[in-house]
Structure 1
Amino acid sequence: MSFPVDRLVFGPRDVDLTRSPLAGRINAETYVLGAFNPGMTRLPNGNLLLMVRVAEALREPSFGGNIHAIRWEGGNYVLDAWPLAQVDTKDPRKFLIPGGGWKVMALTSLSWLLPVELTPDGLEVVEVHYDRAVVPRAPYQCYGVEDARISRVGDRYYMTTCSVSPERHSTTLYTSDDALDWTLEGIVLDHQNKDMLIFEGLVDGKFWAQTRPLGDLYFAYPPGSAWRAGPSINLATSPDALHWKPFDRPGIRPHSATVATARMGGGTPPILTDRGWLTLWHGVEPSGVVGIYRTYWSILHKDDPSLVVATSHPPLLEAKPELTAPLDDLMYVHDVVFSTGIADGGDHYVVASGEADLACRITHIPKATFAA
């Protein structure tokens, strides 16, 4: 689908690395691989806030016969060296270390979160809050803090992030009264899960969330089933947003009739509409190393979010090469749009997405798009 307001608002060239948390603390030149996948919320002053994932990468990761990873350690940043002959470097974002019978990888970048304040319509930058950046603070975040999602429940803000380390690939929770000063509450999901989204409101007095645990093994649906086995969007409930119980029934699952959504995960935190909970999610079609990422939508029952009230099979958003054309020299993946934030804009929704794992995209989507 095409929308008249659809543009990039923040990208790698907008990040001042002299104000990075790594500046002067690592003995190597770095650059911004991507400024993307922004969590988004509306501030008390009416402006919008993006929590932009800044992937700060080594300019020359390979030297001296080794490839290097950036790692946080006890408040400092260090480089780990791995012999080039022992790793797989096909994916420009990471390298695989074979052996052990399972996948082991390391990153040539480290991600941190940069608060970027926008005008109420999300189209202009007001201020970049380098002094409020969210950075690794614990061993379970030593490879970085990624992909924020922000939900406002009552008068409190809840931000989930993916924390990456050799210890675990976990979901961590931050809370705030103003969406600028965040308190790290710790790990809330102790399994590989990059897409935990807290509903913007309670259901029967409980917090609800979408989750997306990953694994190397999935059991088959029976022949002829409408569903395809693989990563899907699950649900969990909590009395306090800290302690979560997986919901017994499934959430949104891949359809067997298409490979466009063979892999899926949550996108924007579900918000309540007249029809139910509106959720934008991503589907991934297998293609090349990364796949083709598109944004889709569903509406969930307001009292039982395991029930899908409505959905649209054609994608809502697809990658838009004309947006990234001015950044062509920085591109390293294609065919990726990853929606991560939504806010009420009156007769439309303001939707924030990561475009090409590179920059932040804002789209105004009329509310009529999701009407009956």
Structure 2
Amino acid sequence: MKFAVDRLIFGPDDVDLSRSPLAGQLNAETFVLGAFNPGMTRLPNGNLLMMVRVAEALREPIRNGKVHAIRWDAGRYVLDGWPVELVNTADPRKFLLHGGGWRIMALTSLSWLLPVELSPDGLKLIAIHYDKAVAPQGGWQCYGVEDARISKPGDQWLMTTCSVSPERHSTTLYVSDNGLDWRFDGIVLDHQNKDMLIFEGKIADQYWAQTRPLGDLYFAYPPGSAWRAGPSINLATSPDARHWRPHLDPGIRPHAATVATARMGGGTPPILTDAGWLTLWHGVEPKEIVGIYRTYWSILDRDDPSKILRSDHSPLLEASPVLTHPLEDKMYVRDIVFTTGIADAGDHYVVASGEADLACRITHVPKSIFQ
């Protein structure tokens, strides 16, 4: 689908690594592997704020026969090295360690979150707030903070992130009173529950969220079922946005009739419209190592979000080689658009996405599409 306004607004060349949380701490050169997957919200001054995931990687990860990764350790950043013969480096985003009874991986980059302020329409860069960056601060996120999602269900802004460590792969919560200054408020979901999106409003005085638990084992649906077994978008409720209880009924599940959404996960925090809760989510079609990521949408019942009122099985957004062509020398994966933020702008929505795990994409999507 084509849109009148659809462009890249922020990318690796826009990041000043001399102001990175890692600056001056590693005896090695780093570069911005990607500045992407931005959580987004509207600030009290009317401007938009993106919390951009900056993936900072080693320029030369392989040295002296070892593959190296960056790790936060007691307030500083250090390098760890594994013998090359013990790892699989086929995926440019991570490497797998051999020899265990289960998959163990390390990352080729460490991610931190950079607040980037945009004009109300999302098309002009206003300020980059390096002094308000969100970076690892504990062992639970020693390998990075990833993929912010921001909502404002009440008086405060709530931001969920993925925190990565050997301890756990958890969902962490940050809270703000102004949408710009964030404070850590704990782990809210434990191991490998990714893409947590808090609804932009309560239902019957309860907070609701979409979640996406991951695992290596899924039980089959019966033959002839409309559903395909695999990662799906679940639901949870909470009295305080800190303690979450899984909802009994399933949320959005992969359809058996297509492989385009064989794997799926949440995209933007659901927002309330006249028709119900609008949620944008991603579906992944298997292809080579990474897959093809596209953005889809659904309308959920305003009182019971487990009821899907309407969905479109045609993608809303697909990866755009035209947009990334000027960044061709920086491309390391393709076929990925990963939508992570949405803001109301009158007759349209400003939609923020990560493009090719590389840059931030802004699209103006007419509201008429969802009616």
TM above 0.5: yes
Provide runs of 4+ in structure 1 moved above 6 Å.
none
Q: In structure 1, what is the Cα distance between the partners aligned to 2:340 and 2:194?
A: 12
CA distance in 2, matches of 1:24, 1:191: 32
Q: Distance in 2 between matches of 1:203 and 1:99?
A: 48
Q: Distance in 1 between matches of 2:39 and 2:218?
A: 30
Give aligned-pair identity as a percent. Answer: 76
Secondary structure of the residue that 1:313 maps to in structure 2? strand
* Cα separation, 2, equivalents of 1:107 and 1:248: 34
Segments of structure 1 that go 5 or more residues without pairing to the other structure are none
C-alpha separation in 2, matches of 1:351 and 1:294:
14
Instruction: Give the CA RMSD over aligned residues.
Output: 0.5
TM-score between the two structures when normalised by the length of structure 2? 1.00
Q: Which moved more, 1:179-188 or 1:281-290?
A: 179-188
Corresponding position of 2:252: 252
For 2:48, give the aligned amino acid.
Answer: L
Q: Secondary structure, in 3 states, of the residue corresponding to 1:195?
A: strand
Structure 2 match to 1:233: 233
Instruction: Name the CA distance, whole Å, in 2 between partners of 1:89 and 1:136.
Output: 25
Matches within 5 A, 1:57-206: 57-206=57-206
Secondary structure in 2 aligned to 1:72?
A: strand
Taking the aligned partners of 1:191 and 1:143, their CA distance within structure 2 comes to 14
Paired AA for residue 349 in structure 2:
Y
Cα shift readout 1:212-247 (whole Å, capped 9, x = no counterpart): 000000000000000000000000000000000000
Deviations 1:249-268 (A, max 9, x none): 10000000000000000000
> Quick one: which amino acid aligns to residue 113 of structure 1?
L
Q: Which residue of 2 aligns with 1:13?
A: 13
C-alpha distance in 2, partners of 1:247/1:99? 38
Residues 74-128 of structure 1 deviation map (CA, whole Å, 9 limit, x = unaligned): 0000000100011000001111001221110001210000000000000010000
Q: Match for residue 291 of structure 2?
A: 291
The range that moved more, 99-108 or 276-285, is 99-108
| SS of equivalent to 1:212 | strand
Letter in 2 for 1:327: L
CA positional deviation for 1:194: 2.0
Deviations 1:307-365 (A, max 9, x none): 00100000000000000000000000000000000000110000000000000000000
SS in 2 for 1:18: helix
Match of 2:338 in 1: 338
* Corresponding position: 1:219 with 2:232: no
Q: Which amino acid aligns with 1:9?
A: I
Helix, strand or coil at the partner of 2:195:
coil
* CA distances 1:144-192 after superposition (whole Å, capped 9, x unpaired): 0000000011221000000000000000000110111111011000120
Give the whole-Å Cα distance in 2 for the aligned partners of 1:362 and 1:142.
30
Identify the residue that residue 55 of structure 2 maps to in structure 1: 55
User: TM-score of the superposition, structure 1-length normalised?
Assistant: 0.99
Q: How does 1:265-284 map to 2 (within 5 A)?
A: 265-284=265-284
Aligned 8 A contact 1:37 1:147 in 2: yes
Shift of 1:139: 0.4
Amino acid at match of 1:26: L
The one-letter amino acid of 1:111's match is S
**Does the CA-based 8 Å contact 1:147-1:194 persist in structure 2?**
no
